[in-house]
Amino acid sequence: MPDGTNTGRPRTRIQQRNRDLILGAALDVFSLNGFRGSTLDEIATQAGLSKPNLLYYFPSKDAIHTELLSGLMDTWLDPLRDLDAHGDPIPELLAYVERKLEMSRLYPRESRLFANEIVQGAPRILSALQGDLKHLVDEKVVVIRGWMDTGQIAHVHPYHLLFSIWSLTQHYADFDVQVRAVLGQEEPFQEAPAYLKGIFLKILTP
Amino acid sequence: MPDGTNTGRPRTRIQQRNRDLILGAALDVFSLNGFRGSTLDEIATQAGLSKPNLLYYFPSKDAIHTELLSGLMDTWLDPLRDLDAHGDPIPELLAYVERKLEMSRLYPRESRLFANEIVQGAPRILSALQGDLKHLVDEKVVVIRGWMDTGQIAHVHPYHLLFSIWSLTQHYADFDVQVRAVLGQEEPFQEAPAYLKGIFLKILTP
DNA sequence: CCTTCCTTTGACCGGCTGGTCAAATACTGG
DNA sequence: CCAGTATTTGACCAGCCGGTCAAAGGAAGG
């Protein structure tokens, strides 16, 4: 019956299991090759299912990708949502940096999926970027500007400050190969938290 | 005659022109879709040539990609090479940041080509990362450590410092779509130089 | 003008692409 | 155990993929 499965039925264990298998495999493949560079055969093999079986659960390659992206968008913005306007500004921002870095460490595939999509022009999520993302950012920038105006943190361009946080934290997931090639033995995530905390403290201290 | 054209012959105007056309078109296409997501037909169309004509000048899709990457690697590392051990440390590092940011502004396609390659696991340039790149970085890190030990700049993890510079500057090329979606009207490269200069001054001041 | 070499192309190839379908198989409630 | 439904699959399709090739078209020197 599945595919879109818009009928409000509750989804059986086997449906749940196979959808999870497919989405997991698709995350592996899409995050490594981008949308156009990935094939259904590869996803099917990775998931341990046959290709027609994939298409029994999802109507198309596009649908799998869209499902992944839209499911991820929320999770990805959660750390920013949790930035508390009523918290202590500097610890609050440092905690945000830490949460974002933790996302890179725990969910590198998700980070790379986004990176691929955006590097390649964000054809499928541009509207989400201009909508949900921009609105959330605008809202939080008001908070940050407030902290700056009351002298609680240094005055820097708030949008570019957020870009810095995204860029620096996601770098450890997206450019993992390069980071490891340069570091050699050293584990990237051993020093990264302290390093980032240190530099953002300098950036934010008034 | 072309293809590999290992014969030492000087290359005619028409050969030069068509090779340039192909490499330019390939840069457009590869940087937007990654290697596997790009097709020879697309590159040929973009170059205004027929597909067999492409393959008259380059032996394979792979060869075009490799040519682009290896040609780019040097250019990409030039700003770091120019970091002068005998210069004034802080201005020297800020100038490096500026050069890297300028690269993102002027050569976003090249930046995205690298980003695609590395995000996707750097299958074709891993050895260059572990070789040329690592050696150059190791060499410059010695210089930077020297500056730290003599108290001329603040003590921070030198490798992660370089990652920061790469990450922050390349972000404006690689995530251009997202940056613009969030900023709305404002031109990213209007505020970016001053912003980055400001934060790196804070990071580096002892 | 002819010859020679460089350049361009249309037609073609086997293999892979996303996707379909009917038939076979497993699972479930009665 | 059976009926009915959910799941799985082999065979298949048209179109695209990277790449080949023989033959045609151009340029340039003698």
Q: B9 pLDDT exceeds 80?
A: no
State whether the beta carbon of B18 lies below 7 angstroms from any atom of strand C.
yes
**pLDDT value at position B76?**
95
Identify the band that residue A12 occupies on the pLDDT scale cut at 50, 70 and 90: confident
CA distance A104 to A79: 12
Which chain B residues contact residue A168 at CB under 8 A?
A: 164, 167-168
Considering chain A, tell me which residue range(s) the CATH 1.10.10.60 domain(s) occupy: 13-59
Quote the percentage of chain B above a pLDDT of 70: 95
- Whether residue B164 and residue A122 make contact (CB cut-off 8 A), yes or no, is no
Contact state of B120 with A34 under an 8 Å Cβ cutoff: yes
pLDDT value of residue B6: 52
pLDDT of residue B14: 80
pLDDT digits (tens, 9 = 90+) for B116-144: 999 999 999 999 999 999 999 999 999 99
CA distance A202 to B201: 10
Q: What's the pLDDT at A141?
A: 98
Q: What is the pLDDT of residues A26-45, one digit of tens each?
A: 999 999 999 999 999 999 99
pLDDT computed for residue B55 by the predictor? 98
Q: How far is CA A25 from CA A1, A175, B195, in A?
A: 22, 21, 40
C-beta separation of B142 from A198 below 8 A: no
Q: Which residue approaches C8 most closely, CA to C1'?
A: B53
pLDDT, one tens digit per residue, over B55-101 is: 999 999 999 999 999 999 999 999 999 999 999 999 999 999 999 99
pLDDT tops 90 at residue A7: no
Fold of B13-59: Arc Repressor Mutant, subunit A (1.10.10)
Q: Is the pLDDT of residue B2 over 90?
A: no
Q: What is the mean pLDDT of chain A?
A: 95
Please check whether residue A206 touches B, CB under 8 A.
no
Residue ranges of chain B that CATH labels 1.10.357.10: 69-204
Check CB contact under 8 Å for A122 and B178.
yes
Q: What is the pLDDT of residue B12?
A: 76
Handedness of CA B109, B113, B119, B120 (dihedral sign): positive
Alpha helices in chain A (DSSP H): 13-33, 40-47, 51-57, 61-81, 89-106, 108-119, 126-128, 134-149, 158-174, 176-183, 188-204
pLDDT above 80 for B11: no
Question: Quick check: A5 pLDDT over 70?
Answer: no
Which whole number is the average pLDDT over A66-75?
94
Residues in chain A: 206
Whether B182 has its CB under 8 Å from any CB of chain A: the answer is yes
Q: What is the pLDDT of residues A45-65, one digit of tens each?
A: 999 999 999 999 999 999 999
How many angstroms separate the CA of residue A192 from the nearest CA in chain B? Answer: 7
Helix (H, G, I), strand (E, B) or coil at A85: coil
- Residue A79, pLDDT score: 98
Assess B16–A contact: CB distance below 8 Å, yes or no.
no
Question: A147 with A153: CB under 8 angstroms?
Answer: yes
User: Mean pLDDT across the stretch B28-37?
Assistant: 98
Average pLDDT over residues A141-168: 98
CATH architecture of residue range(s) A69-204 = Orthogonal Bundle (1.10)
Q: Supply the pLDDT for residue A117.
A: 97
Using a CB–CB cutoff of 8 Å, tell me whether A187 touches chain B: no
Distance spanning both ends of chain A, measured CA to CA: 60
Question: Rounded mean pLDDT of chain B?
Answer: 95
Amino acid letter, residue A3:
D
3-state helix/strand/coil string of chain B: CCCCCCCCCCCCHHHHHHHHHHHHHHHHHHHHHCCCCCCHHHHHHHHCCCHHHHHHHCCCHHHHHHHHHHHHHHHHHHHHHCCCCCCCHHHHHHHHHHHHHHHHHHCHHHHHHHHHHHHCCCCCCHHHHHHHHHHHHHHHHHHHHHHHHCCCCCCCCHHHHHHHHHHHHHHHHHCHHHHHHHHCCCCHHHHHHHHHHHHHHHHHCC
Condensed to tens digits (0 to 9), the pLDDT of residues B160-175 reads: 999 999 999 999 999 9
